[in-house]
Every structure is written in structure tokens, then in C-alpha cells.
Chains A and B, each alone.
Chain A
Amino acid sequence: MDNPYRILGISENATDDEIRDAYRELAKKYHPDSFEGDKEYANSKMAEINEAYDLIMKTRRSSNSSASSYADIRRLIQNGRMAEAQELLDGVSVSLRNAEWYFLKGSIFYSRGWFDDAYSHFTKATQLDPSNREYAAALNNLNMRRSGMYPGGYRTVNHTSGASACNLCSNLICCDCLCEMCGGDLIPCC
């Protein structure tokens, strides 16, 4: 068989998306139902394209096996199967643990409500790979929540201690409560 990349008309450095697009384009062109001309030629061309596409995808998937094992773990996390994801992560030997490993492990902690551990793992992930936006966003989210800015916006409260016009009513209620405790009543309606 010819070079599968040449059959699809792309360079060997093409991204997965480009390969997919090229494959779709050709499949549309040579589909026996729509091809105008020799049906037999279309059929053989179609088989050739399919074979080339499968071959490229297969070699690509096996060459970066470590990335794909994390992709599996990612899928588990997205589906909420945390116990399995954690088991797979813990199985990765310490020397192979990269930024993504720390990020995923941190995500599991985060979903469990273990925010101290999540924080240290997200921090480690961003240290190992400072340019990654996903890790930075996760860390930033925790930092926002830590700072107490969340829930933010109109939900923030200004505290004025002592007597001021702003909490006049509540002060009156407090006085009322205190009076009532001693048997009196400041505000008769409550």
C-alpha cells in the first residue's frame, strides 16, 4: 500500500482534526452513491481511503499511549466514576507522574470536597506546566473561593459594628430580645 498520508493528501505532521477533515472530504467525493462515473473505481477508491485513515489513527493512538491512558482517566472523572479513576492514577509509577497527573488527582480531591489536598495538587500541576490554562483555571477557582470573594457580587455584606442607622431595625430587635429575656417588651408586635 502507498503512504497512507499521501492517499489522504495531507502531510505527516497534520493534526488529528486535519486528518479527519481530509478523510471526510474524500469520503464525500468518492462515495459510490454520489460519485458520477465508474462505480467500481469509486468503490476501490473508497476502500483505499478507509484503510489509510484507519491505519493512521491506529499508529497515532499507539505511539502516545501514556497520553491516551490519561484520556481514559479523564473520561472516568467526567462520568463521575472517581473510585476507578483514582485507582488508575495511583497505579502510575511515581517517576511518570507529570503535570496532568497532578491535575487529575487534584480534580478527584476537588470533587470529593478535599480542598486542601486539591489545592496542593493543582499548585504542583501549575508549577510543572505553567503555560497550561486548564490547570491555572482550576487553581484560580480555588484561590477565588479561598479569598471569600465567592459568592460575590451583590451578596457581599458590609459589617458595621456598633450602632448605626444602617442596622437600626436589627439593633431594635436585639434590644427587644434582651428586654423580653428580662420579662419586658420593647416592641410589642414581635
Chain B
Amino acid sequence: MFGYIRPLKSELKLKEYNAYRSVYCGFCHALGKAGPFLRLSLSYDFTFFSILALSLEEEFCGFCQKRCPVKPFKKYGCVKDNEKFEYAAALSIMMLYEKANDNLSDREHILSSLLLKGYLKKRYRKAADKYKEEAQILTYFTKNQKEAEKNFTSLDSACHSTADTLSKIFSKLSKNQNKSELLSRLGYNLGRWVYLIDALDDLEDDLKKGRFNPLILRFKGESDLEKIKDFAKGELSVSASMAGDCIEALELYNFSPIIENIVYFGLYNMQKAVLSKSRKERKLIVNG
């Protein structure tokens, strides 16, 4: 995940914005507890995951005040430490570890990946012991991804491994079978969306450097970039709208306006930002 799933700030109420920040800060603290350097891996995507996990529980653990190590002179509102944060942190450790492994097998960023792997090794083992199924899902993910990219048959089959991984992880957020099914569909559509928007974001770079990109392969021989972008925008919107359907059907106990904001506005807004012409324009759109 790459930080694409975030709210559209201008559509949030102040109290919702504060609540979002509290989750963000709270999750950052949870990451710090698992390993001080892990705070650097804090992302909007995992914040979304934490909010969703929290919103599915009837009981809410409440807020507290904590100091931020980056800005230590003031206390900030935080969501209290809870098992959902711990779970999301474990997932993010396992994902980073797989990413480092993947880099090493590709012989990319060798030094940093070795350092990262060394740092995460014990923490990975601890997390993987506690969440065995999740660890397995994530290990398969990188394998499947590579295979799908090697034998590209269709755009959807290339999206499948990311989408399916998220679908499996999301479905574990609820024990209720109905909800679990909805979450699985939500995860699938969000996963497809994330994979596609990442492909769209890298489109021009990949084209220049001749790297793998599912959108380029989908339009073999097509030189009109605008046509590819238009197509990608359409596919992204379909997945986003499907994710919206799932959110509408889910019963959310807390933070529902924030989650709705992210899925109904944030995703479309990010599409716009990625399709923007310049960096400056993109920044303006992302910040709402």
C-alpha cells in the first residue's frame, strides 16, 4: 500500500478531522511501541485500516493525550492503545518484511533492504507467531504477484493478487459471516483500486524505462496516453463505487463519517490528484 487511501480534508467536519488525527497519532504510537523506527512506516492506508477495524467494534476504547516525539512540547489527542492498533502494526511489520525479502530477491535496494530485514527479523517472527494465517497470506501475496506479472493474461488477473490479499485480510476483521463477506468484497475492490492507481501513477515513468506496467500491457501498441488514462480512470471509478456499496451496507459503530468521507470522496479525489498535470496541482488537490 502506498498512501493513496486518505480522506478529503475539506469535506470533513473539524471534529471528524480531529478524530482522524487522533487515530493517526494513536496508531503511530502503537508502531513506536513495536519498534521506534517503525514509526517511519506510518501510512494513510494503515490508518484507514485501523479506523475501519475500530469502527466495526461496538465498544470504543476512548481518547487520551500523548506527546509526539517529533513535536514534544505539546500533547496531542490520541486514540488509546488497543488491540486493533497492535494488529495493524503487526500486519505492517509483516508487510515490510516481505517487501524487504522481495527487494533482496530482485537485487534492488540491497543495502537498505538488508538493514530493514535485520531490524525486522525478531519483530516479524513475533508477529508471524501470533498471526499465522495473516503471515501466510502475505507470504503468498508477493509470490502470486510476481507470477501474475510474468504471465500477464488480463488486467484483472494482474490486479487479482493484491485485491485478493486485501480481501482475505479485511474479511478477518469481523467474525460475523455477513459482515465478513462484505468486508471481503470491500477489501477486494480497494485492493484492485490501490493496484490500479499505483499503476496509473507510475505509467509515464514505466513507459520511459520500459518497466512492467499492467496498463501498458492492457493497451499493447496504444501510443495515446490520454486514452489509457481515461480507461484507468473508468476502472478506478468502478472499483471505488463498489467499495462505496460495501461501506453503505456495513454497520459501522464509530468514525462512520470519516470512513464514508474516505470511500466516497477521498478515493475519487486521489484519482484526480494522480491524473493532475503538475506536482503543484497534485499537492493542491490532495490537500483538498
Partner of B14, one of A155, A157, A161, A190: A190
Chain B residue at minimal CB-CB distance from A120 = B154
Contact digits for B60-86, partner A, Cβ 8 Å, 1 yes 0 no: 000000000001010000000000000
Size bracket, chain A contacts:
20 to 34
B57 within 8 Å of A (CB atoms):
no
B264 within 8 Å of A (CB atoms):
yes
Chain A residue at minimal CB-CB distance from B263 = A151
Contact segment of A35-43, A45-53, A62-70, A139-147? A139-147
Establish whether residues B287 and A113, one from each chain, have CB atoms under 8 Å apart when the complex forms. Answer: no
CA A114 to CA B160, docked complex, whole Å? 8
Chain B residue at minimal CB-CB distance from A118 = B156
Contact segment of A15-23, A91-99, A130-138, A165-173? A165-173
A159 within 8 Å of B (CB atoms):
yes
Establish whether residues A113 and B237, one from each chain, have CB atoms under 8 Å apart when the complex forms. Answer: no
A180 within 8 Å of B (CB atoms):
yes
Size bracket, chain B contacts:
35 or more
| Secondary structure dominating the interface of A | helix
Contact digits for B219-242, partner A, Cβ 8 Å, 1 yes 0 no: 000000000000001110111011
Contact digits for B167-204, partner A, Cβ 8 Å, 1 yes 0 no: 00000000000000000010011001000000000000
A→B interface (CB under 8 Å): 109, 113-117, 142, 145-148, 150-151, 155, 157, 159, 161-162, 167, 169-170, 173-174, 180-181, 183, 190
Nearest 5 pairs between A and B by C-beta?
A114-B156, A146-B234, A170-B10, A148-B237, A145-B241
Instruction: Give me 19 A-to-B residue pairs in the complex whose CB atoms sit less than 8 angstroms apart, sorted by A's number.
Output: A113-B185, A113-B189, A114-B156, A114-B160, A115-B238, A145-B242, A148-B241, A148-B271, A150-B237, A155-B264, A157-B8, A159-B272, A161-B284, A167-B10, A169-B14, A170-B10, A170-B288, A173-B9, A190-B17
